[in-house]
Structure formats: structure tokens, C-alpha cells
Amino acid sequence: LLLPCVEITDVPRHRWRGFMLDVARHFQPVSLLRRYVELLALHKINVLQLHLTDDQGWRLPVPGYPRLTEVGGRRAESMVGPAGSTVFDGVPHEGAYTRRELTDLVAHAAAHGVTVVPEIELPGHARAAIAAYPELGTVPGRPVDVWTRWGVCDTVLGVHEPVFAFCRAVLDEVLDIFPAQHVHIGGDECPTTEWAASPAARARAAAEGLADTDALHGWFLRRVGEQLLEHGRTPVAWAETGEGLPPEFTVMTWREPEHTRIALKRGHRVISAQHRAAYLDYAQTGSPDEPPAQPGAVVDLPAVHGHAPPSEPGAPGELIGMQAQLWSEFAVTPAQVDRLVFPRLCAFADRAWHGSPSWSGFQGRLVAHSARLAALGVRHGPLHPHVTAPHRSGKEPS
């Protein structure tokens, strides 16, 4: 038997080629996470970021805080449609992972060349934690429910010392379960209205020498990040331009390309996660037959494949990679996850690995690759822009 010999020389364009899955708004079984590890590895995506906590759910067990999953892991119902809707489904939603499930997932991922990066949202997007332990809120003891809505919630963590004891306990468990160098601590969309109205928060800002309560946001992230740095880990934050953060923080930019350049100028390592090209919860086409998705934009295959993160030659920072995101307001079932993620993740992976902007070349490769997706049971979206993909049932994925 004679086999042809070939030597392949290939290196990735970016060392961080990531995919984030939001399991806080809609919980997904660990079987889906293990399957996605394998799909990511197939596409040379080497980071799976798990968005484990948010206003709508807490999925991580933490010793000493059982109510985080018992109370924070369950909400009474879910909003139907986008933020601002007045329609709710009336169906309780719940779920949490065990420590064993997460450690096994980390090992499974490592065997496939994928690093699992945990994300704990702080100090905003934390209503589920406050519902479980009201003493963590800006108004300690005030009861709130696990949020049933989408969008940005005004309820945020307080800035009193018990909150930081809580954060330390959470991160101690995170560090024990996840050996990844990077740990994401959230940081985005944190309204400061509660702090501005709180005498205790105003006193804390004054005691720390801060200009106002708005500055508590950066101060909070810096303080929490210190624990990670003490353990030799790297804190990551959705921090726009990196303002208020030390250069040891890795910044994940998502709003504007210019934010990436500013963060690079400030000396940060930066991961580009631009929402108009890498948020996979947006619709894939403008067709009226498009299944429900996040409104506000159409992120089709050409938009994903056409995106290249901005650079800033001579800046002290470093662009270390790219990441695609699936926020899960409209991804309830595994089939809905598949349809929103694929084939757009194929386009993202193509650019993240070798960076070729050739759309025609990618289209040819995608047609051939779609047979692999079909063999793997991936119920993907349209392979061509502005065309709605048929589903096996002829109906919306479920």
C-alpha cells in the first residue's frame, strides 16, 4: 500500500480564536457543551467562553452559597421577543451545572485543544445573585426576583465589604475548576443609578478618592481583578476602551472598532468581539421567514467573513485575537443554537485562522464543508446570503 506524502506548513493568524456561549439566559445541557467543544475543535476555534451568570440565571455552584443555583438558577418565566416586549411565556426556566460536570468538560475540551474560559458578570448583570442573597445588593436586604426580562437591568452589586467576600469566594471556586490563564469578570452595561442614589456608595467613592459614583465601576473591576493577578491569572473584561483598568487586564471590545485602537494605545492586550460582525444572535438574513433573532442588525455571512479587527501599528498593546458570541435570548433549544451559530462560525473561523478576505474562495470551501456539518447533525442556517435555509421539519428549529 502506497500513500502519498505531503508536508503542511500552517499557522494561525490569531492565537485567541474564541466562541462565547451564553448559558445564563437560557441554560443548555452539558451534552451540548461537550458537542460544541468538538465542533469548535473541528473549526480550529481554541477558546470556549462560558457566560455562566447574568440577571436571568446563575449556573455555577459555589460552596457556602447554595442559593446561587437553588434560587438564582431559576426564574419564573421568560420574556417573549426582544427587550421591551410585554409578552411572557409563563414557563419557569432553570438549570445549573455540577462541579463534576464542569471539571469533566474542561478535561474534554483540553483533549480537543480547546480552553474553557469562565465568565462571571460583575458588578452589573448580577441580579440573579442578588435575588439569591439580597444582602449583596446596593440596598442590602431589599428582595428582588431573578429577572424575567431581557435588556439592561439597573440592579447591581453593592460596594460594601461583604460583596467582595462573596466575589472572592466565587473566584476561588472558578480558579479551582478552570485552569485557564484568562478569567472573564464581565464589566459591561453596569448602570450607576443605584450607586448614585446610595449614601453608602457615595461614601465609598469619597473614601476611595474617586471623582464620583460612576468611577466605582472601574474601581470595582480593579479590586476584583487583583485576586486573579495574585494567582497568576489574567482578568478579562468587556471594557470598551480599557478606561480605568490597568494594562494587566485583557480588554474585550465589542461596540466600535475605534475602541479597539484606543485600548491598544493604552497598552492592553485586546480581543476583538465586534457586535456587527461577531454577534451571532442577530438575524442571518433580512427575510420575513427568518426565525426569531435579536433585532437591530442583520449579520450575514459576508459581514462575518468580511470583518478584520483594526490594528494600531506602534501601539504598546497587542491584538491577541477574535471572538464570536451567541447571546441566548433567542436560543432556547440546541437546534436554535445550531441555526444561529452555523454556518456563520465557519466564516468567523476562516478569517480568524488565516485571514484571507477572499469571499469566493470561502464560498467554495463552505459548500464542500456543509456535507461535514450535515453528517454531524448540525442544523445550520443559510449557506448563501439573503437566503433562508430549509429545515428538516419545514418549521422553525425547536
The continuous run of DSSP H or E covering 31 comes out as helix 30-42
285: CB partners within 8 A, 6+ apart: 298, 300, 382, 385, 386, 387, 388
Question: Which of 343, 263, 359 has its CA nearest to residue 308?
Answer: 359
Q: How far is CA 318 from CA 15, 110, 170, 240, 272, in A?
A: 11, 25, 29, 15, 11
8 A C-beta contact, residue 350 and residue 305: yes
Distances from the Cα of 83 to the Cαs of 79, 152, 240, in angstroms?
8, 9, 22
Q: What is the DSSP letter of 136?
A: G
Asked whether 352 and 15 are in contact (CB, 8 A), the reply is no
The answer to whether residue 331 is domain-embedded is yes
**Set of cell numbers at residue 94:** 432553570
- C-alpha distances (whole Å) from 69 to each of 75, 162, 310, 318, 358 are 11, 19, 40, 37, 46
pLDDT of residue 394: 35
pLDDT for 289: 87
The 10s digit of each residue's pLDDT in 200-239 is: 999 999 999 999 999 999 999 999 999 999 999 999 999 9
Q: Annotated catalytic, 54?
A: yes
Distance from the first to the final alpha carbon of the chain: 48
For residue 275, give the H/E element and its range.
Answer: helix 275-278
Report if residue 4 sits inside a domain: no
Residue 396 has pLDDT above 50, yes or no: no
Residue 269 falls inside a structural domain:
yes
Within-domain flag for 196: yes
Residue 398: inside a domain, yes or no?
no
Q: At what angle are helices 344-353 and 359-375 packed, to 10 degrees?
A: 120
Give the pLDDT score at 398. 44
The whole-number average pLDDT for the span 144-162 is 98
Which three three-digit cell numbers place residue 341? 451559530
pLDDT tens track for 380-391 = 999 987 654 443
Whole-number average pLDDT of the chain: 95
Q: Is 312 a catalytic residue?
A: no
Respond yes or no: is residue 300 known to be catalytic.
no
Interval 51-83: pLDDT, tens: 999 999 999 999 999 999 999 999 999 999 999
CATH number at residue 25: 3.20.20.80
Residue 233 lies in a domain: yes
> In this predicted structure, what is the pLDDT of residue 4?
84
| Inter-residue contact 174 to 60 (CB < 8 Å) | yes
Secondary structure element (H or E) that encloses residue 264, with its range = helix 257-265
Domain contains 390: no
pTM: 0.95
The answer to whether 181 and 117 have CB atoms below 8 angstroms apart is no
Short-list 16, 17, 19, 25, CA closest to 327: 25
At 300 the three-state DSSP class reads: coil
- What pLDDT was estimated at residue 387? 52
Domain limits for position 138:
16-375
Q: How far apart are CA 94 and CA 112, in angstroms?
A: 29
- Quote the pLDDT of residue 386: 60
Out of 38, 172, 188, 189, pick the active-site residue.
Answer: 189
Number of folded domains that form the chain? 1
Active-site position among 26, 51, 125, 184: 125
Report the distance separating Cα 143 and Cα 141, nearest Å: 6
In a domain, 392, yes or no: no
- Print burial letters for 307-346: b (CB count within 10 Å at least 16), e (below 16): bebbebeebebebbbbbbbbbbbbbbebbbbbbbbbbbbb
Q: Across residues 362-367, what is the average pLDDT?
A: 94
Which whole number is the average pLDDT over 318-345? 98
